[in-house]
Each structure stands twice: as C-alpha cells, then as structure tokens.
Structure 1
Amino acid sequence: MAFDPLNERGVPLDEQLRDWRELSVTPIDPGGCDPYTRCRIIAVNAIETEAIFFSHQLARHCPDKRIRQQLAQVRYVEAQQQKAVNWLLPGSQSTLETTLAHEQAAVDLTAWVARMEPDPYLRQAYQFGVLEHVDHLYRYANLYETIEHRAAEKVIGRLTEVVPGRPTYLQHRDPTDTVREPYRRGVTEPLSRLHALTVMAVEQQTMNFHLNVGPTFIEPLARQLYQEIGLIEEQHVNHYESLVDPGENWWEQLLNHEYNECYLYHSFMETESDTQVRHLWELHLDMELEHLRVAAELFRRFDGRDPDQVLAPELPPPLTFESNADYVRDLLITQQDVTTRGTGYAREAHERFEAMQHAVMDGERPPSERVIDENRAISGAEYRLEQQLSP
C-alpha cells in the first residue's frame, strides 16, 4: 500500500523527548555489521544535521518569536535524533575506518540517485560527482593499508569496488566552475527535489567530517590527504547545493526537509537488516511525521498553498544502498575525463581549469598521488578491490 506521510499520524511533539537511558543506544558491531547499515547511519546523520542547520538559519531570519520557539522545540528533538543515530557508530572504529564508510556511502548513494534521477541535467551532476568519490575511496583505502596495515574490505565488504576514479588532483577547479544550474521548482518532479536535498546533505556531512578529523592525525601524509580531499568536498557542496532552486521560500524549504526525512527513514526502515537499528528508524519516522505536520501547517499559513501542491502524493520507492559496481564501471569508461566549465561540462582542459591546477599544485606532486606511491613502497603494490561483474 502506498505511504503518504501527510496522511499518517505520528508521535505528538510533546511526547517525543527521550531521557538519557533512551538515548544511550548500543553501537553496531564494527566487525559483524552489514557495511550498508553503517552507510545508512552516516546518511541519516547527514540529513538530521542538515535539518538542524537549516532550522537554525530559518530561526535567524524569522521575526515571530512564537514561530522561533516552535522551531526550537522541533529542533531539540532533531538534535536528540541526530545523537541517537550518530552514536550508533562504535568508538572502536578508527577515524580512517569511518572515512572509508563515508566514501562508500557517498559512492553508492550518489550512484543510486544518478540511476533513478528522471532529470537529465541533474542526472549528469550526480554521475559527475560519483566518479570523484570513487577516487577518494581508492586514495583512503591505500592510506588505510599504509597506516593501519589492513585491507579496506574489512570495512566496506566486497560491495563497493576500490579502483581509481577521476584522479583527485584533476578535481581542483576554479570555484566559478563548481556552480550548477538549479532545478525549477514549478516543473521539477518531487523525486528530484528529494534527491538534491539528500545528496547535498551527505556531501555537507562529508565536508564537515574532513574539517574536524583531518588535523587529528599525526602522520603528515594523512593530514595532507585529508586537507586536499576536504577542499574537494567544499567544491562538492557548491556543486550540489546549487541544484536546489533558490526561489523556494523558507516554508517550502522547511516542508521539503521534513518530507525528505520521512522519505529516508521510511526507505531505510524497509531495507535495514539490523533489528535494533531498524527499530530506531521506525521510531524516528513516527517522530518525523509530526515534524512534517508542523511544517505543513506553517507552509499553509505563510505560503498560502496546500502541501499537496508541492509534495509527491506518496513516497517514491525506497532509496536503497546496493552495489553499483556495473554502473560505476560504465561511468568510468564514458565520463572519467569530464570536467566542468561554467554550469556545463567539458572533456578538454580550459584556461580556468589549467590556472587552478597551477595555483594549487605549484609543480608539487599532490598528497593524493603520493599516498599511492607510499603504499606501493610499503606493501609492494597499491590496494585495489575489484569484483567479478555481470556479463
């Protein structure tokens, strides 16, 4: 049966607060969990963090104290949700292992979105971005083997290939070439808006992760690699946030955020293999249904339209974490040499691209290349993980 969040009843807002014991979740088993459970945790943490950041920005632009108070009530619950989700990650997991999981999540989520995206321009944006995360996963897998002397397969299983993507050193572009054209809110399908919000949130989370953990390493090459890829993540946030129509008013954006949270919790509830984690997705979905109801009321009051005029009449098919190896390999064959120019794409270097390369590299071999050299010297070969793909 189709699931329409606007017609479902959730947990009343005044019943959503949890005490410390309820928030003290048991972390997943780092050695025995499904790698995609870890990816779902990272993705949900990203959308909760984005919801909190957006709510703060809305509050800073809202002159009505009562509305700010209502936003603060919902935001506190969102903060509890974010803590419960993020604390599912085990403390025994190293920073590099968490990094590998972030990159696996980015590869397979973005590849899935690209496969499902109905808009050709938006699809190209996701196809372009996924090849950069493929390469980041490859670089970090080699750093992991160099520093911790373990194979990335320990973290990501055999679900996602570890192969060179679009080389990281070729990902440094003039900032003016990192901004895309936005979708048009009046004609774009609701699914496309959900895709854009989801990928933007995951990229923002990955950028923030690099900002915070990069300086915690002792090894100079690790610090430099996190700094280099962190700058690319900044570009990725430019790339994806620019896809969202800036003409959406605050209340439409709030409505889209809450609907997207319902979509992802419902998706992951349907596909989660870990019983404890699935129960958390179910609980949070019941909470988000009420948050959506609050957002819908504010939208009707300040926008004047009915939410049905903006949102899909029912949730799309679930967003699924699954292996995209065949799809990614096809993209590597057809699009690895693509770069950006203005709001479009090009296959040849151009003046701004070459100027940026010169400014960033200044004749030096970048950390993303040196990490491969170092692993070859230590391990005898670079680390790769390839699958037997379907004929």
Structure 2
Amino acid sequence: MTFNPLQEKGIPIERQFRNWSELNVQPYRKDDVHPYTRCRAILANGIEVEAVLFSHTMARNTLDPDVKRMLALTRRVEAQQQKAVNWLLPGDETTLEVTIGYEQVAVDLTAWVAQNEPDPYLRQVYEFGLLEDFDHLYRYANLLEMLEGKQAQALVDDLTEITPGRPTIFEHRDPRDEIRRPMPGMAAHPQSVLNALTVMSAEQQTMNYYMTIGNRFVEPIARSLYAEIGMIEEQHVSHYESILDPGMTLLHNLVLHEYNECWIYWSLMQDEQDPRIRALYELHLNMELEHLRIAGELMKQVERREPQEVIPGPFVAPLSFQENRAYVRSVLKAQVDLTAQESMFVPVNSLQPDHRYFDYQRAVNNGWVPSEAVIQQAVEVNGTDYRHELLGENPVPGLQRERNGATTTYAEKVKPAQAA
C-alpha cells in the first residue's frame, strides 16, 4: 500500500476555509470512544499545533513579503484544522482523563516509532523516552483513582499496561545531557525524518498541555505532579528536537512539515473506525496535499530546488496505534537503569560521584518529590498502588509491588549513595 502526495491533487487553498459551525465539530462520546480514536485526535492536534508554531517561527525569520503572505494563508487553514481536531475531545472528559489519553499516545506512538526506526541510535533515543512516558502514565493513573475514584483501565482498555517504568524521580537530568546527535541531513532515511517530526510534535503538545492546565487543580499533590512531569516533557522536547537536522533551510523544513502532515492524516484514515472522524481526517489530508504543493512551489521559486530533491515521494507504510505490551516490557527490563551523558545513554551506576546528574538530582529532588508522593498517598488511601498489569508482575524486580502494599523499592536499590 503506497500513496504519493506529490502526485495527488488537493483542495484549492481558496476553498479550504470553514465557518464556525463546521469548526465546532461534534465531539466523540467519552463512554463509547475507542482508546485509539482518542489517541489519534490527540496526535492530530499536536501535529497541527507544531505546524502553526513552525509557520510563525518561519515568518519571523523571513524577509520576502510574498513568502510571508503565503505562510499566513496556509497557517490560517492549519489553525482551523487544529480547532477541528482538538474540538473532537468532549468537555465532559476531565483534565486527568485527557491526561491519561496524552500518556497513552506517548507510550504507544513512541513504541511504534521505535520499532519502525531504521537507525539504531535513533531507535535508542525513542526507547529511552518511552520508558519515561510509561512511568508518567502510572503516576497519573494513581492520581486519577485518588482524586476521581476512576480506574485508568476504563480509558486505555487492555491495549496499554499501567505499571512503573523508569521512575520519574530519576528522569531529572542536567539540561546539557538532553542533547542528542542529529540525523545526517539528506542522508537520513525518510522514515527517520517522519518519525522525528511526529514524536517531537506529540511531545511538544504534551508539554504545552501540562504547562497550561497543571495549575487548574485545587489539590496540591496534583499541581505538584503536573509541575514535575511537565518539566520532564520539556526535557523530552529538547531530547527529540535535537535529533533533527539543524542544517536544513526554513523552506526545506516547511516542505518536510507539510509532507509529514500528509503522512499523519493518511495514516490516521487507515485505522479510524468512526466514519465521521475518518471523513475529517480525509478532508484534512486533501487540504494538506495543497499545502505541500504550495510549499514545493515556494522552494522552486526561492531556492531553485525541486521538492522531490528533499522528500522521497510515496509513503510506504502508515503509522499505526497498536498494543505494544510485550515490547514495552522488554525495553523496560533491558534499559530501566539507563540515564544520559551528553549524547549517549549509560547505566546510572556508571556515573562518577561528582557527575552533574547528581548535582541536578539534589537540586530538584530536595526534600520532597511529587511523583513518589502520589504513590505513597495512593498506598495510604487504597492500601496499594493502582496498576493494570496484563502480562504478570513488572519485569524489573525492584519495581514489583511489595506484598504488604508498600511503595516500590527501586529508588533505594539504584540510587547511588552520593545522590541521597
């Protein structure tokens, strides 16, 4: 199954604007929605937010008024697309329920990307981030049960497990150790480019979401947990954006963004079972085909390059949301103790006592850590933490639930004495 967006005709840009009723789309019913329908809507929103933000950044760094006008034209449509896909989420879904959806996106999207990444180093980049988002899902699921009396299983179904990942307390690293090696420009595999743009956009939107809604809670534990995990999401954006090729021109980046959007909507259409939502994705694909054509024309006019020189043409395989339970467990078992040292990933116990990782740990984890406290409070309230383990106990012995209901012992087992 292939699809070449360079050979498909989209909707003329003048016919792409919609009225307010069309933008105020009917949301899905939260009690009936398939978990991956929610995930696809959240991903589409992240892709459109990145499109709008990148277009604004490009406009601020462009002298040519004609290019600015064309960016403004397509950007207005992108902004409408963002409203349409984001408005699929219903107002009766609580902030925490939406958060569980965001973290299910992070887990299963990143797991798919890692398994479909041709570059070994980039695959490691994704697997490293995967374990951290997997732990976030566990922390928020416990908060959901404590504050709302709801179990996250009802939201993720049996598609995604809920159990500790790399504990959030150990994810906090010196910012200088969040920068990865960029992919090799034009020599990068086309799938690597699509993967990087997609995951970076999704993580950026998660960062945006937590920055915006984390202070809407009354409960101190909730406000604190969103602040802590929100800081990790900023780390993740640094982590993923640094693998992009920094040598590309703005127009080259614009073409890649439009190409990626075409791939996303083409992919979402393949699996979406709700005919109304599938039709929305198909409409947006047909709009993006025109945006890609316009970006290609700008590249030809300004840089005297053909878009075929920078994008490969046909899509070979669609991105797909699917269960990755066994795969996530295998990564967790093999890589739970990794941390970052500049662009490399190393076992935390290989760091020297004076490494800046421990300095940063002491600074931010001084006295009290929300991601640990939420589990401790869950145990106090419910007698045990909340988990949804479908394949047996957690594969990491130190992360298995203790028989007396106490919190996990992983922290004490791996924390070097110097970081205490």
Alignment TM class, shorter chain as reference: over 0.9
Secondary structure at the counterpart of residue 340 of structure 2? strand
Q: Distance in 1 between matches of 2:176 and 2:258?
A: 31
Cα distance in structure 1, aligned partners of 2:21 and 2:375: 45
Map 1:159-170 to 2 at 5 A. Answer: 159-170=159-170
Does the aligned pair in 1 maintain the 2:214–2:226 contact within 8 Å? yes
Alpha-carbon separation, structure 1, partners of 2:382 and 2:141? 12
**Partner SS for 2:314:** coil
Q: Which residue of structure 1 lines up, in the alignment, with residue 79 of structure 2?
A: 79
1:374 equivalenced with 2:386 (yes/no): no
Shift of 1:154: 1.6
- Classify the secondary structure of the residue corresponding to 1:339: strand
**Structure 2 residue 366 is the aligned partner of structure 1 residue 359:** no
**Which residue number corresponds to residue 125 of structure 2?**
125
Give 1:311 deviation, angstroms: 1.0
In 2, the alpha carbon distance for the partners of 1:205 and 1:277 equals 21
After TM superposition, list the pairs within 5 Å mapping 1:192-231 onto structure 2. 192-231=192-231
Q: Distance in 1 between matches of 2:298 and 2:335?
A: 43
Q: CA deviation at 1:165?
A: 0.2
- Tell me which residue corresponds to 2:190: 190
Give secondary structure in 1 for the equivalent of 2:27. Answer: coil
Deviation track 1:236-283 (CA, whole Å, cap 9, x = no partner) reads: 000000000110100110000000000000000011111111000000
Give the Cα–Cα distance (whole angstroms) in 2 for the partners of residues 176 and 219 of structure 1. 33
Give how far 1:299 is off: 1.5
- 1:145 matched to 2:158: no
Contact 2:96-2:144 at 8 Å conserved across structures: yes
**Residue 338 of structure 2: aligned partner:** 338
Amino acid at match of 1:154: A
Aligned pairs (5 A) from 1:89-104: 89-104=89-104
After TM superposition, the structure 1 = structure 2 runs for residues 13-24 of structure 1, keeping only pairs within 5 Å, are 13-24=13-24
Paired AA for residue 187 in structure 2: V
Amino acid at match of 1:155: L
Mapped to 2, the partners of 1:284 and 1:43 lie a distance apart of 14
Aligned counterparts of 1:309 and 1:69: Cα–Cα separation in 2: 25
Task: Give the aligned partner of residue 41 of structure 1.
Answer: 41
> For residues 204 and 138 of structure 2, what CA distance do their matches in structure 1 show?
20
**Superposed displacement of residue 61, structure 1:** 0.9
- Tell me the equivalent position of 2:386: 383
- Which deviates further from its counterpart, 378-387 or 116-125? 378-387
Q: Is the 1:191–1:312 Cα contact (8 Å) retained in structure 2? A: no
User: In the TM superposition, what is the alpha-carbon distance from 1:19 to its structure 2 partner?
Assistant: 0.8
Partner amino acid, structure 2, of 1:386: E
Partner of 2:236: 236
Q: Aligned partners of 1:309, 1:129: CA distance in 2, in Å? A: 31
Between the two structures, name the one with larger relative contact order (CA 8 Å, sep ≥ 6).
1
Question: What SS class does the counterpart of residue 186 from structure 1 fall into?
Answer: helix
Paired residue secondary structure (2:159): coil
Structure 1 residue 316 displacement after superposition: 2.7
Q: Is the Cα contact below 8 Å between 1:299 and 1:306 reproduced in 2?
A: yes
2:2–2:317 CA contact under 8 A, matched in 1 = no
The runs of 5 or more residues in structure 1 that have no matched partner are none
1:292 matched to 2:292: yes
- The Cα shift of 1:305 comes to 2.1
CA drift of 1:65 comes to 1.3
CA–CA distance in 1 between the matches of 2:168 and 2:283?
40
Q: CA deviation at 1:301?
A: 2.0
The answer on whether the counterparts of 2:214 and 2:227 sit within 8 Å (CA) in structure 1 is: yes
Which letter maps to 2:368? R
Normalised TM-score (structure 2): 0.91
RMSD over aligned CA atoms reads 0.9
Q: Deviations over 1:212-242 (max 9, x none)?
A: 0000000000000000001111100000000
1:302 CA displacement:
2.3
CA–CA distance in 2 between the matches of 1:234 and 1:84? 26
User: What SS does the aligned partner of 1:213 have?
Assistant: helix
What stretches of structure 1 move > 3 A for 4+ residues in a row? none
Give how far 1:105 is off.
0.3
TM-score by length of 1: 0.98
Q: CA deviation at 1:9?
A: 0.1
Deviations 1:4-38 (A, max 9, x none): 00010000000001111211211001011100000
Q: C-alpha displacement at 1:388, in angstroms?
A: 3.7
Aligned partners of 2:59 and 2:68 also within 8 Å? yes
Matches within 5 A, 1:23-38: 23-38=23-38
What is the CA deviation profile of residues 298-353 of structure 1, one whole-angstrom value per residue up to 9, with x for unaligned ones? 11222322211221221130100000101000001100000000111110343111
Amino acid at match of 1:291: H
**Partner Cα distance (2:110, 2:232) in 1:** 16
Aligned length: 388
Q: Secondary structure at the match of 2:345?
A: strand
User: In structure 2, what is the equivalent of residue 179 of structure 1?
Assistant: 179
- In the alignment, residue 318 of structure 2 is paired with which amino acid? P
The farther-off stretch of 58-67 and 37-46 is 58-67
SS at match of 1:284: helix
- In structure 1, distance between residues paired with 2:274 and 2:110: 23
The aligned amino acid for 1:95 is T
2:178 maps to a residue whose letter is: T
- Conserved 8 A contact 1:190-1:310: no
Asked if residue 57 in structure 1 is aligned to residue 57 in structure 2, the reply is: yes
- In structure 2, C-alpha distance between the alignment counterparts of 1:110 and 1:302, rounded to whole Å: 35
CA drift at 1:71 = 0.7
Aligned AA for 2:360? M
| Partner Cα separation in structure 2 for residue 64 and residue 310 of structure 1 | 22
List alignment gaps of at least 5 residues for structure 2. 393-420
Query: What one-letter code is carried by the residue in structure 1 that aligns with 2:43?
Result: A
